[in-house]
Amino acid sequence: MGAQMSDAVVVDNTVSAPGQRDQPLYADRVKVYPKRVSGTFRKLKWWLVGILLTIYYLTPWIRWDRGPGAPDQAVLIDMPNRRAYFFFIEIWPQEIYYLMGLMLLGAVGLFLVTSLAGRVWCGYGCPQTVWTDLFMLVERWIEGDRNARIKLDKQPLSPAKAGKKVAKHAAWLVIAALTGGAWIMYFNDAPTVVADIFTGSASTMVYFFVALFTATTYLLAGWAREQVCTYMCPWPRFQAAMFDEDTLIVTYQPWRGEPRGKATRRDPRAKRGDCVDCNLCVAVCPMGIDIRDGLQMECIGCALCIDACDSVMDKLELPRGLITYDTERNQVNRAAGKPLSYRLVRPRTVLYTLLALVIGGAMLWSLAFRATLDINVLHDRNPLFVTLSDGSIRNGYTVKILNMTRAPRDFVLDVEGLADSVMSVVGREAAGDGTIVLPAAPDGVATYQVFLRAPREVVSEEAMPITFELTEADGGEAVRRETVFRGPRR
Amino acid sequence: MVESSREMPTSSDRNSAPEPATTGHSWDGIEEYNKPLPKWWLYVLYATIVWSIGYYVFYPSWPWANGYLRGVLGYNQRVELEQTMVAAREAQGALLASIDAAELPEIQADPDLRTFAVAGGKTAFADNCAPCHGPGGGGQVGYPSLADDDWIWGGSLEEIHQTLLYGVRFGHDESRISEMPAFGAMLERAEINAVAEYVLSLSGQDHDAAMVEEGSAVFADNCAACHGEKGDGIRELGAPSLADSIWLYGGDKNSIVRQVTQPRHGVMPAWIDRLDPVTIKMLTVYVHSLGGGE
């Protein structure tokens, strides 16, 4: 065993092909020049780019009246005041689980879509894809299509080249600044913060984040592009775990295309497949890969190669779909001439759907029955209890009433589990019938110092469990909180 | 080339790209693909190293002959703390001035001033008072509780303020002074025993009923002048009530006998010479808020 081991760890040069060890460990980036393409999927993607960018840029400007004193921005995360608003929903910091629910829902939704139709998110919806599409569009307007850009990059620097480059980067920076500017509006009142930014009166934090998101947008969509998907994003590295034989993926159909070859006038069709090796699918690929190599980690499933290949098939008057969305199972079936079968209901799709339903249902349920009142009770620790001159025992509590509505409300506090106890609240007088009304301002936390006093003989234990019950004065919402009443050691 | 070593095998594999090169290493026949890292990634690493040099230049870093390298920014957390404290003091300035100008009942009546005074008093209490009176003013043997409803020198704002300013038995001209004689030298042991039983009876504790009558007489002759005929104390004299459940030096018989025989007397400093008037005012409002304020 020992001998085997020592043999094994010796680097065995003989099994390696010559020259392999000279391969560099760090590679130059091969710049991708995607060619313009038109077709069904390109059209769909332009629509999505338009819709998603519109949503992103316009959402902060939607107004939503919440009454006086409340922000009238429909979607707003108000950090200084610790509130998050989404149209009719308003959440407090302790309700951050809604955000976690949204993230879980997003993750499970992503799993479901990926197991059904591959990397739809990557190809159509991901901000990296959307902004890269936008930046490439601008690039194409200024520098021309693939061949013109390749030529331009090879040219020595000239005034014309410099002009184009400056124009492109300036346009990119403007878009990036608008992106960064829009981001900050989700955290500030949009009209106010825009005015502040231009008058120079916004906070350093605002300028910092606008600059940060401007820089990241410019770098990621302008320069990094496909490198983000291949080397920075974790999702491509494990999305294959959601794939199975029934997942629709962008597929080159080798049984139809191979052996590929140029069509010649003498022998247009004989002894070869439909692929004419025109390389258009490679030229349009924003990731710079060859889809004919099969499923690859780099492929974001944007389907632009389908559009490119279809346009060639149309010219050759061959059926479309040499590159198409298909499942691995049906590729085998088609190659063997067997009937096709599609399976949408699979254990993983059922599981993902159920998970999404459970999480979504739980969130809806909790939102529909969301309490607009809460109470926090803190038992005073110093001193734990006070002995009064008549021998009775007094405990102090800090009671916080969370009024999560936009209206002022009055509450009455009761205590259970302590006989003959007398309650007093600092700064509040008891009414004739002994009740003490505790007002709570709209959308705020009212803090009260509550003293509870009980005769010595009632306090039978060192720590007696008691319950505070807070009820709206007009008998509306009620909430209970358990705590203890402490007395001397017996 | 080993077919099973492909990642993500699919049926499309027959057209796949040529096998990537390996690093040339082989362990038990397992080879390592060489999938080169992009160079920019490496440059990012170098850039972060260069960035880190900035910290050495701008921020305090290495120990040095004269202490440590201070960095060109001269940044220092202690200085930052001092600046923060100064800024906080400035921010509090208006409220502190209002408290300085206002009478105690005015502070008590104004919710903002009262909240600020209670918060400020709480901090000052923790620094100056809590070592004896306990955090939260719960008191301990020999140091009265400030949270209960029994006051030796009075629990109104004015009385608390007075006690805070000049202290108790501190030697200041205005200090509150009371001194209980050492009855060990003046009374017989039996008399002390009897008066202790009588004092126990005042607060409704278990006692020897046979001795109450004698004790009552001793009390009337020796104690009532200060503690009152019924033993419920006289504040003007600083004589605590003996008829309630609150005891400064203990309420059991031994403690009472001891206090009668050889009384102990606590001392509280006069804070007028130690704290500024605003802090003392805030302390007054805070102590008043602890639950016993009158």
CATH number at residue A463: 2.60.40.10
Pair B164, B233 in one domain: no
Q: At what angle do helices A40-58 and A304-315 cross, to 10 degrees?
A: 150
Model confidence pLDDT, tens digit, residues B256-266: 999 999 999 99
Residue A3 pLDDT > 50: no
Residue B146 pLDDT > 70: yes
Pair B137, B160 in one domain: yes
Residue B5 covered by a domain: no
Pair B238, B276 in one domain: no
Residue B255 pLDDT > 60: yes
Residue A294 covered by a domain: no
The percentage of chain A sitting over the pLDDT mark of 90, rounded to a whole number, equals 72
pLDDT given at position B33: 84
**Average pLDDT of the segment spanning A60-82:** 92
Q: How far apart are CA B96 and CA A171, in angstroms?
A: 54
pLDDT given at position A39: 94
pLDDT given at position A221: 96
**Average pLDDT of the segment spanning A70-93:** 92
pLDDT given at position A268: 62
Model confidence pLDDT, tens digit, residues B2-17: 334 334 444 344 444 5
Residue B44 covered by a domain: no
pLDDT given at position A130: 97
Residue A465 covered by a domain: yes
Q: Is A447 on the interface with B (CB under 8 A)?
A: no
Pair B126, B198 in one domain: no
The domain boundary residue, chosen from A235, A264, A280: A235
Pair B129, B157 in one domain: yes
Nearest CA in chain A to B242: A389
pLDDT given at position B17: 53
Q: Are B196 and B256 in contact (CB under 8 A)?
A: yes
Q: Is B8 on the interface with A (CB under 8 A)?
A: yes
Model confidence pLDDT, tens digit, residues A406-418: 889 999 999 999 9
DSSP codes of every residue in A229-283:
IIII-SHHHHGGGG--TT--EEEE-HHHHPSP----SSSSSTTS-S-----HHHH
Contact flag B148-A381 (C-beta cutoff 8 Å) = no
Residue type, A130: V
Q: Is A327 on the interface with B (CB under 8 A)?
A: no
Contact flag B244-A391 (C-beta cutoff 8 Å) = yes
Nearest CA in chain B to A382: B136
Write the ipTM: 0.77
Residue A20 pLDDT > 60: no
Q: Are A308 and A39 in contact (CB under 8 A)?
A: yes
Q: How far apart are CA A234 and CA A482, in angstroms?
A: 45
Residue type, A23: Q
**Residue B155 CA neighbour count, 13 Å, CB half:** 18
Q: Which of A17, A331, A382 sits opposite B12 (nearest CB)?
A: A331
Backbone angles phi and psi of B240, in degrees to 5: -70, 155
Residue B242 pLDDT > 60: yes
Q: Name the token pair of B160.
A: 């608390």
∠ at Cα B247 (B245, B252), nearest 5°?
85
* Number of domains chain B contains: 2
**Average pLDDT of the segment spanning A269-285:** 87
pLDDT given at position B13: 43
For chain B, first and last CA: distance in Å? Answer: 93
What is the number of CB-based contacts under 8 A between chain A and chain B? 135
Owning domain of residue B127: 79-175+268-289
Pair B217, B244 in one domain: yes
Residue B203 covered by a domain: yes
Q: How far apart are CA B125 and CA A307, in angstroms?
A: 77
Residue B162 covered by a domain: yes
Q: How far apart are CA A215 and CA A261, in angstroms?
A: 45
Among positive and negative, which fits the CA dihedral A95, A99, A102, A103? negative
Interface of B with A in 128-157 (CB under 8 A): 134-139, 145, 147-150
Q: Which of B12, B28, B149 sits opposite A252 (nearest CB)?
A: B12
CATH number of the domain residue B151 falls in? 1.10.760.10
* Residues of chain B contacting A427 with CB distance shorter than 8 Å: 111
Model confidence pLDDT, tens digit, residues A156-215: 999 999 999 999 999 999 999 999 999 999 999 999 999 999 999 999 999 999 999 999
Residue B92 covered by a domain: yes
Q: Which of B136, B137, B148 sits opposite A389 (nearest CB)?
A: B148
Residue A205 covered by a domain: yes
Cβ neighbours of residue B254 closer than 8 Å, sequence gap 6 or more: none
Pair B228, B284 in one domain: no
**Average pLDDT of the segment spanning A86-114:** 92
Residue B85 covered by a domain: yes
Model confidence pLDDT, tens digit, residues B74-107: 888 998 999 999 999 899 999 999 999 999 999 9
Pair B94, B162 in one domain: yes
The domain boundary residue, chosen from A235, A251, A269: A235
Q: Which of B11, B145, B148 sits opposite A332 (nearest CB)?
A: B11
* Residues of chain B contacting A391 with CB distance shorter than 8 Å: 204, 244-245
The domain boundary residue, chosen from A235, A260, A291: A235
Nearest CA in chain B to A452: B291
* Residues of chain A contacting B289 with CB distance shorter than 8 Å: 426, 449
* Residues of chain B contacting A295 with CB distance shorter than 8 Å: 8, 10, 12
pLDDT given at position A73: 95
Residue A229 pLDDT > 50: yes
Contact flag A383-B145 (C-beta cutoff 8 Å) = yes
∠ at Cα B44 (A130, B53), nearest 5°?
135
Residue B242 covered by a domain: yes
Pair B108, B219 in one domain: no
* Number of domains chain A contains: 2
Pair B231, B95 in one domain: no
Min mean pLDDT across A4-13, A477-486, B252-261 is at A4-13
Give the residue among A448, A261, A338 at the shortest CA–CA distance from B115: A448
Mean residue pLDDT across chain B: 89
Residue A148 covered by a domain: yes
Q: Is B214 on the interface with A (CB under 8 A)?
A: no
Pair B249, B189 in one domain: yes
Nearest CA in chain B to A451: B291
Owning domain of residue A401: 373-486
Residue A45 covered by a domain: yes
Q: Are A191 and A62 in contact (CB under 8 A)?
A: no
Q: Which of B7, B15, B36 sits opposite A293 (nearest CB)?
A: B15
Contact flag A8-B21 (C-beta cutoff 8 Å) = no
A457 exposure class (CB count in 10 Å sphere: 0-12, 13-18, 19+):
exposed
Residue A485 pLDDT > 60: yes
Q: Percent helix, strand and coil across chain A, each rounded to 5?
A: 45, 20, 35
Contact flag A20-B34 (C-beta cutoff 8 Å) = yes
Residue B273 covered by a domain: yes
Q: Is A331 on the interface with B (CB under 8 A)?
A: yes
| Higher per-residue pLDDT: B179 or A489 | B179
Pair B115, B250 in one domain: no
Contact flag A294-B246 (C-beta cutoff 8 Å) = no
